Structure 1
Amino acid sequence: MRILLVEDDLLLAKATALGLDQAGFVVDIAESVQTAQHFLSVYAYHIVLLDLGLPDGNGLDILKSLRHKHINAGVLVLTAQDQVQERIAGLQAGADDFVTKPYDIFEVVARIQAVLRRMSGNLNDVIEFRNVSLDKSTNQVFVDQNLVEITQKEYNLLHLLLSNLGRIVSTRMIEDSFYTHDGEINSNAIQVYIHHLRRKLGVNFIRTIKGVGYIVDKEK
C-alpha cells in the first residue's frame, strides 16, 4: 500500500514515515502543496495523510482537487488538538477521517486500516480464498489454517493480488506499491517474491501473464 504524507515539519514527517514503513506501507513525503500535486499527478496512492497548514497554501486545496478529479484515495487530515474548525472543514471537503497531533503511530496505522477496509467495502480483517487466509490486522498468512512464515514484501504482494482477485495486476502497479518515488527498483525483485509465494502457497496459486503482470484467478 502506498501513502502520500503531506507534512512540512520534516522531522515529524520522517518519524511518521519510518513508523509507517515498519508497518508495511510505502511512503512518499511532500512538504508543500506543489510537491503533493506533482506526486499525485504521477503516482497512484491508496492513502493521503494531509496536513492543512502548508508553506505554499492550504492542504484543503489538495483535498478538494482530489475529490473533484474523483481520485480514489483515502484522505486522513492531520490537525492540532485545538483545530476543531479545520477538522470540520476537512470532513466537509471529503476527508475520510482525521488524526490529532501529537499522535501515536499505532493509532495512525489503525485509522489507515479502518479507512482501507471501508473503501474496499470489506469490513472483515480476513481475506480467504481457496485454502489461503490473509489476516490484515496481524499481517499473517495461513495455508490450510497453518501459519506460513512470510516477509513483509511477500505479504504486501499477496494482499495486492487478493484485493484484485480475478484481475491482472500489472508489473507497474506492483512497482508503484513497492517503491518510493526515489527508491531504486530492482527489476528481478518482483519475480523473486512471486517465486517465494508460489513455493509457500502452491505453484498454481499465482498465474503469470507474460509481459503484463500477474493474477490470482477466480475459481470457475
Structure 2
Amino acid sequence: MESILLVEDDPMLGRALTSALGQEGWRVVHCMDAECARTALVDHAFIAVLLDLGLPGASGLEVLSTMRQRYDPTPVMIITARDQLSDRVRGLDAGADDYIVKPFQRDEMLARLRAVLRRSTGNVTPLLRWRDLEIDPAARTVSRRGARVGLAANEFRILLTLFEAKGRVLSRDQLQDRLYGGDAEVGSNTVAVYVHQLRRKLGEDVVVTELGFGYRVGDER
C-alpha cells in the first residue's frame, strides 16, 4: 500500500485527514511536529507529503527546505491557515507542489492531491547509467543486468548522491549531511554501513573508497 506523510499538529484535523486519505486507499503516517516529519522522511518512502506550516519546534518550510536540499523529489502539498499571498509564494518557491488554505473541503483537497500525484508521475527525469547499472531517480528504482534491486531509502539516497557527483569524491560528512541534515546526531559509521549494504547488493565495484577522503562511484571500465 502506498504511503502518504501527513504533518499536522491539530489532532482533530489530523484524524479527519487520516480517515479521508485512508478511505482513498492510502496508508497514512501522521506526524505532529517537524522532528517526527524529518525522521519519517529519512526512514520511509512516501508518494506525497501533506505539510502544515505552523509546527512545534520548527516550521513546515524548514522541513520542506531540508527535503529539497537532500534532492528528495517527493511531491509536497502545503496545508495551512496562512492565506497571505506572500506565504503562498514562499511555500511554492521553497519547493512545494501545491498549496491549500484551511478550512478546505475534503473533496477539493483530495482532487488537488491527485493532481499533484499525476504531475509528479508525468515528470521526465533522465535515467542514470553506469556499466550495467541503471538508476531511475523519479521512480526511485535501481536495476543491474536488467534485474530490479531492492534498496532501503537511505541506501538509494547515498547511491543517487554519489552518481550525481559524477565521479567526485564525497566525504562521509557530506553524505551524512545529505541524509540527515546538519543538525542530526548519528553514529560515525552510519554511512559506512550503507555503503557496505550497497556493495553487497550491487557489487563491490559500484562504490570506491578513497582512504582518508571519502567515497565515489567506481570507474566506468
> 1:206 touches 1:216 (CA, 8 Å); kept in 2?
yes
In the aligned structure 2, how far is the partner of 1:112 from the partner of 1:210?
A: 43
Residue 129 of structure 2 corresponds to: 128
* Aligned residue in 2 for 1:168: 169
Structure 1: gaps spanning 5 or more residues:
1-6, 49-71, 118-122
SS in 1 for 2:100: strand
Q: What one-letter code is carried by the residue in structure 2 that aligns with 1:14?
A: C
Q: Structure 1's 110 and 211: CA in aligned 2 closer, same or farther, altered over 3 A?
A: farther
Q: Does 1:47 align with 2:68?
A: yes
Deviation per CA, 1:69-97: give whole Å up to 9, x if none.
xxx999x78355994x6279617994554
Structure 1 pair 146–125 and aligned structure 2 pair: CA distance change class (3 A): same
Does the alignment pair 1:179 with 2:180? yes
Q: Which amino acid aligns with 1:142?
A: S
- Tell me the SS of whatever aligns to 1:215: strand
**Contact map agreement 1:167 1:217 (CA 8 A) in 2:** no
Judge conservation of contact 2:208–2:216 (CA < 8 Å) in 1: yes
Match of 1:203 in 2: 204
Mapped to 1, the partners of 2:94 and 2:125 lie a distance apart of 22
- Per-residue deviation, 1:164: 1.3
Residue identity in the other structure for 2:68: I
For structure 1, which segment, 177-186 or 138-147, has the greater mean C-alpha deviation from structure 2 after superposition? 177-186
Q: Does 2:36 match 1:14? A: no
**Which residue in 2 is equivalent to 1:86?**
85
Q: Give the 3-state SS of the residue equivalent to 1:133 in structure 2.
A: strand
- The change in CA–CA distance for 1:214 and 1:146 in structure 2 (over 3 A counts) is same
Partners of 2:40 and 2:119 in 1: CA distance: 13
1:28-84 CA distances to partner (integer Å, 9 max, x unpaired)?
Answer: x9857x956xx79xxx84528xxxxxxxxxxxxxxxxxxxxxxx999x78355994x
Q: Could you tell me whether the CA contact under 8 Å between 2:199 and 2:206 is conserved in 1? A: yes
Change beyond 3 A, Cα 1:35–1:87:
closer
* Deviation at residue 194 of structure 1 after TM alignment: 0.9
The residue aligned with 1:52 is none
Match of 2:21 in 1: none
Alpha carbons of 1:183 and 1:73: their partners in 2 closer, same or farther (altered >3 Å)? closer
Paired-residue identity, %:
24
Question: Shift of residue 174 of structure 1?
Answer: 1.3
Higher strand share: 1
One-letter amino acid of the counterpart of residue 89, structure 2: G
Between the aligned partners of 2:152 and 2:86, the Cα distance in structure 1 is 37
Contact 2:199/2:205 (CA < 8 Å) preserved in 1? yes
Q: State the SS of the aligned residue for 2:31.
A: helix
Map of 2:100 onto structure 1: 100
Deviates more, 1:130-139 or 1:185-194: 130-139
Decide whether aligned partners of structure 1 residues 80 and 213 sit closer, same or farther in structure 2, where only a CA change above 3 A counts.
same
Residue 151 (structure 1) shift: 1.8
Cα 1:81/1:111, change in 2 over 3 Å: farther
For residues 119 and 78 of structure 2, the distance between their equivalents in structure 1, rounded to whole angstroms, comes to 12
Q: Which runs of 5+ in 2 are unaligned?
A: 1-6, 15-29
| Greater RCO, 1 or 2 (C-alpha within 8 Å, sep 6+) | 1
Q: CA deviation at 1:180?
A: 5.5
**TM-score, normalisation: structure 2:** 0.55
Alignment partner for residue 23 of structure 1, among 21, 34, 45? 45
Tell me if structure 1 keeps the 8 A contact 2:92–2:99.
Answer: no
Structural RMSD (CA): 5.0
Cα distance in structure 2, aligned partners of 1:109 and 1:160: 25
**Equivalent position SS for 2:204:** coil
